[in-house]
Amino acid sequence: MSSTIIPSSRPHPMALALEEARSAAKRGEVPVGAVILHGGEVVAASGNRTLETKDPTAHAEMLVIRAACAQLGSERLAACDIYVTLEPCAMCATAISFARLRRLYFGAPDPKMGGVEHGPRIFAQPTCHHRPEIYGGIREGEAIDLLKGFFNARRD
């Protein structure tokens, strides 16, 4: 008996996060996108909106955490995974911990402002109450190219 693997018709969650990042760039925002999944289903997706909302906390991660909590009716997202195109900053990493997200998948590292593998390394701190599983480098090249293209265009 042979088995056949049927490819999923659903786009990879990081592809959706990259779409959100591209939409953010079109709005003039730093192109970062995020998606939260619960039970394999997307419950929230957004890109950065700091300029649009005049809110320095309107990072993609913060927006999807708020939306997922509202959608699921809970301040805890323990059965959820977050996909982000860029390594979260310290603020977003802390929010990920507070929300108790199960897994963090991110694309590009952020040596300057990252808070997971760089900078304050929030999840490595003894005061961090929850540490998600962390998987970096997911579609990293695409995420880096998107960011570089955005910032190069702004410098021209």
Q: Hey, which residues are catalytic here?
A: 61
Kindly state the DSSP code that residue 1 receives in the 8-state scheme: -
Contact 110, 89 (CB under 8 A): yes
Strand 80-86 to strand 103-108: parallel, antiparallel, or no bridges (unpaired)?
A: parallel
Chain position carrying tokens 């760089």: 118
Radius of gyration from C-alpha coordinates of the chain:
16
φ and ψ at residue 83, rounded to 5 degrees = -115, 125
Q: Cα(137)–Cα(147) distance, rounded to whole angstroms?
A: 14
